[in-house]
Chain A
Amino acid sequence: MTTAAARQRTQHAAQDSHAIVFDTVSKRYPDGTVAVEALDLTLPAGELTVLVGPSGCGKTTTLRMINRLETLSSGCIRIGDRDVMESDATQLRRHIGYVMQHSGLFPHQTIADNIATVPRLLKWPKSRITARVEELVELVGLDAGLIRRYPHQLSGGQQQRVGLARALAADPPILLMDEPFAAVDPIVRTHLQDELLRLQARMGKTIVLVTHDIDEAMKLGDRIAIFNQNGRIAQFDTPTRLLAAPADEFVVDFIGADRELRRLALQQLDPEEIDPGVHVAGSATVGDARTRLQQAGSSGVVVLDEAHRPLGWLDWERLRQADGLSRIEQLELTPWRHRLHERTNLRSALNALISAPGDVMPVVDDDGRYLGVISQVQLTRRLS
């Protein structure tokens, strides 16, 4: 996407009723600490925006001002065209989902009652609440048998799922998440992150997520706002742009030394870069293959089956020693451990290439059919 298109999309989103707009927002505490200073920020509707930064940078305060858990000192926050300070705080909160670090579940209520909190506050009829709870339990991937249990009987990961279900209960257009995965172990965290992305692809809510983990930000965010220690935004951009054009030293430092690798993870193979390569059908003869190779000047050949799927690699040395009249499929081929999908990211491509025979990897389409090869040389060139 070009920058112009991105800008256009942002402008469009700002007019959308669920975009969140910060207009010179500041938050000062009575003791003089400044948490947030003159913040201008537009969080586009339907996107997942991550607020990230070192501790004490004001990212959580920024999040909490949206549903008025914190009161802003000056400036204004609008959701669509409504000023949050002009709406009733409790009503506002009932229409904005909130997920916190330690699930914040009510210990004296069952899982079902916890999930039903907001619908109950909104006085939904009982039957509708019951149906909604069942739906949510399934949506967030919880075992239906758990809903009669109490929070302390659940694991941290399960509690966090319940927390998400509670936040989504009344189907709010906006979801605020305050370090939602910080308290669970890394494996569970990865699961929950994947699940959130899966849900968001389906729901398209306006999500604001606070984290101190830049990896999490890069993985989840459509857009990322990096806060510096002074409660100001160092850069607000898409992950790709942050990596490609960090605004200043602070951003460079914050993203970390392996910025180039992270960047690769966000880039897909360019179809232009896929080399058609030298390939022969398994039914061809060794003689044919030799001729093709000599013409192309390559070190080996990709062997394909009848359905045009890569079978393995055959290098020049083995071709030279083989009987010119025998069929290729009768020879011993070197198989690849992976195949690269045409939409794979460059970081995985690089990893796969390191162990690939002949320093090349076949690229395939959705049906596994051969598209061409990519070589280590090509990728390394892009890295520099």
Chain B
Amino acid sequence: MNDSLPALLQGLIGWLADPAHWQGSNGVLERGLEHIFYMMVSTLIGAAIALPIGIGLGHSGRGGLLAINLTNIGRAVPSFGVIIFVFLLVGYGVIPVIVALVALAIPPMVTNSFVGMRGVDPAIRQAATAVGMTPWQRLLQVELPIAMPLIMAGVRTSAVQVMSTATLAAYVGLGGLGRYLIDGLAVRDLVQVLVGAVLVAILAVATELLFAGLQRLVTARGLRHD
């Protein structure tokens, strides 16, 4: 594994230029789509669970201690260990891995949506009540639009984290671009490993940029102070 840098770059370009590597069940397209699929499914299911909890707690102002510390707790749990743990407990399966990814995606979204909802100026919340909004109207017309940038920031954090952990999950058998990394490491094929790393990095950066754009999109114009 001590090839020179130019040789490696050449190998990398050669690998990517070979159309055979792009097609089929182990092709880049298939693996890339798999990776995006795992990320989307886990983030969406995670959001469906986490956002109502975070928003609900933030709206009512209860459970703050838990909501705020959830992310810290989640951060202390090594996701690599979780993936292997799930594998050792139930054996390999896409569903157990996705369940683990969902569990890891939940904390940042709970914390961010809670903080976002709590961050709504109490005077504005009071104004909404004083003009005669029902609690639901207050939530939908005032609190949510104002909290939306932070809520989306949480989704973005989770998506990026799921992307990273899904790569690791190739170690226990999950598909996606992580396969190139794990398989390449196993057979000491440095070119394949690098291809995987480059592709994963590109996908991750694209995800980050996509969600950053999304975050900007859901920020009401009046809240943009630039």
Known A-B contacts A102-B123, A121-B137; the reply to A107 vs B222 at CB < 8 A is yes
Q: Which of B201-226 touch A at CB < 8 Å?
A: 220-223, 225
Check A118 against B129 for contact (C-beta < 8 Å).
Answer: no
Check A98 against B130 for contact (C-beta < 8 Å).
Answer: yes
Q: Give the distance in Å from the alpha carbon of A104 to the alpha carbon of B121 in the complex.
A: 9
What chain A residues lie within 8 Å of B134 (beta carbons)? Answer: 90
The answer to the question of B78 belonging to the interface, with a C-beta cut-off of 8 Å to chain A, is no
The answer to the question of A117 belonging to the interface, with a C-beta cut-off of 8 Å to chain B, is yes
Known A-B contacts A106-B124, A109-B222; the reply to A118 vs B130 at CB < 8 A is no
Q: Which of B177-203 touch A at CB < 8 Å?
A: none
Known A-B contacts A106-B142, A150-B222; the reply to A69 vs B131 at CB < 8 A is no
Minimum CB–CB distance for B135 against chain A, Å: 9
B132, B145, B222 — most chain A CB neighbours (10 Å):
B132
The answer to the question of A100 belonging to the interface, with a C-beta cut-off of 8 Å to chain B, is yes
What chain B residues lie within 8 Å of A49 (beta carbons)? Answer: none
Q: Give the distance in Å from the alpha carbon of A151 to the alpha carbon of B220 in the complex.
A: 12
The answer to the question of B49 belonging to the interface, with a C-beta cut-off of 8 Å to chain A, is no
What chain B residues lie within 8 Å of A93 (beta carbons)? Answer: 129-132
Total A-B residue contacts, Cβ distance less than 8 Å: 67
Q: Which residue of A lies closest to B144 (CB)?
A: A108
Q: Which residue of B lies closest to A118 (CB)?
A: B131
Interface readout for B39-64 with A: 1 if CB under 8 Å, 0 if not? 00000000000000000000000000
Q: Give the distance in Å from the alpha carbon of A264 to the alpha carbon of B207 in the complex.
A: 73
Interface residues on B, range: 20 to 34
Q: Give the distance in Å from the alpha carbon of A167 to the alpha carbon of B124 in the complex.
A: 14
Q: Give the distance in Å from the alpha carbon of A92 to the alpha carbon of B132 in the complex.
A: 7
The answer to the question of B133 belonging to the interface, with a C-beta cut-off of 8 Å to chain A, is yes
Q: Give the distance in Å from the alpha carbon of A93 to the alpha carbon of B222 in the complex.
A: 26
What chain B residues lie within 8 Å of A105 (beta carbons)? Answer: 124, 127
What chain B residues lie within 8 Å of A109 (beta carbons)? Answer: 220, 222
Minimum CB–CB distance for A174 against chain B, Å: 13
Known A-B contacts A108-B223, A150-B221, A152-B225; the reply to A94 vs B145 at CB < 8 A is no
The answer to the question of B10 belonging to the interface, with a C-beta cut-off of 8 Å to chain A, is no
What chain B residues lie within 8 Å of A95 (beta carbons)? Answer: 132
The answer to the question of B72 belonging to the interface, with a C-beta cut-off of 8 Å to chain A, is no
The answer to the question of A59 belonging to the interface, with a C-beta cut-off of 8 Å to chain B, is no
What chain B residues lie within 8 Å of A92 (beta carbons)? Answer: 132
What chain A residues lie within 8 Å of B137 (beta carbons)? Answer: 121
Known A-B contacts A100-B126, A104-B127, A107-B124; the reply to A118 vs B222 at CB < 8 A is no
What chain B residues lie within 8 Å of A121 (beta carbons)? Answer: 131-133, 137
Minimum CB–CB distance for A15 against chain B, Å: 26
Check A104 against B126 for contact (C-beta < 8 Å).
Answer: yes
Check B132 against A94 for contact (C-beta < 8 Å).
Answer: yes
The answer to the question of B146 belonging to the interface, with a C-beta cut-off of 8 Å to chain A, is yes
The answer to the question of A283 belonging to the interface, with a C-beta cut-off of 8 Å to chain B, is no
Q: Give the distance in Å from the alpha carbon of A152 to the alpha carbon of B129 in the complex.
A: 21
Interface readout for B107-151 with A: 1 if CB under 8 Å, 0 if not? 000000000000001011011111111100100001001100000
Interface residues on A, range: 20 to 34
Check B220 against A108 for contact (C-beta < 8 Å).
Answer: yes
Interface readout for B148-177 with A: 1 if CB under 8 Å, 0 if not? 000000000000000000000000000000
Q: Give the distance in Å from the alpha carbon of A152 to the alpha carbon of B134 in the complex.
A: 26
Known A-B contacts A69-B126, A100-B123, A151-B222; the reply to A108 vs B131 at CB < 8 A is no
Q: Which residue of A lies closest to B127 (CB)?
A: A104
Known A-B contacts A69-B126, A104-B124; the reply to A117 vs B131 at CB < 8 A is yes
Interface readout for A211-223 with B: 1 if CB under 8 Å, 0 if not? 0000000000000
What chain B residues lie within 8 Å of A26 (beta carbons)? Answer: none
Q: Which of A129-151 touch B at CB < 8 Å?
A: 150-151
What chain B residues lie within 8 Å of A104 (beta carbons)? Answer: 123-124, 126-127, 130
Q: Give the distance in Å from the alpha carbon of A95 to the alpha carbon of B129 in the complex.
A: 13
Minimum CB–CB distance for A179 against chain B, Å: 12
* Contact of A107 (CB < 8 Å), options: B131, B133, B223: B223
Q: Give the distance in Å from the alpha carbon of A247 to the alpha carbon of B123 in the complex.
A: 36
Q: Give the distance in Å from the alpha carbon of A167 to the alpha carbon of B127 in the complex.
A: 10
Q: Give the distance in Å from the alpha carbon of A108 to the alpha carbon of B119 in the complex.
A: 14
Interface readout for A63-101 with B: 1 if CB under 8 Å, 0 if not? 000010100000000000000000000111111001011
Q: Give the distance in Å from the alpha carbon of A237 to the alpha carbon of B15 in the complex.
A: 91
The answer to the question of A10 belonging to the interface, with a C-beta cut-off of 8 Å to chain B, is no
Q: Give the distance in Å from the alpha carbon of A151 to the alpha carbon of B224 in the complex.
A: 11
Q: Give the distance in Å from the alpha carbon of A151 to the alpha carbon of B121 in the complex.
A: 14
Known A-B contacts A108-B145, A110-B222; the reply to A91 vs B127 at CB < 8 A is no
* Contact of A91 (CB < 8 Å), options: B123, B132, B142, B222: B132
Q: Which of A313-344 touch B at CB < 8 Å?
A: none
Minimum CB–CB distance for A110 against chain B, Å: 7
**Complex A-B, nearest 8 residue pairs according to Cβ-Cβ distance, in ascending order:** A104-B127, A94-B132, A150-B222, A108-B220, A93-B132, A98-B130, A108-B222, A90-B132
- A-B residue pairs in contact (CB < 8 Å), sample of 17: A90-B133, A92-B132, A93-B131, A94-B132, A98-B130, A101-B123, A102-B123, A104-B126, A105-B124, A107-B124, A107-B146, A107-B220, A108-B223, A110-B222, A118-B131, A121-B131, A152-B222
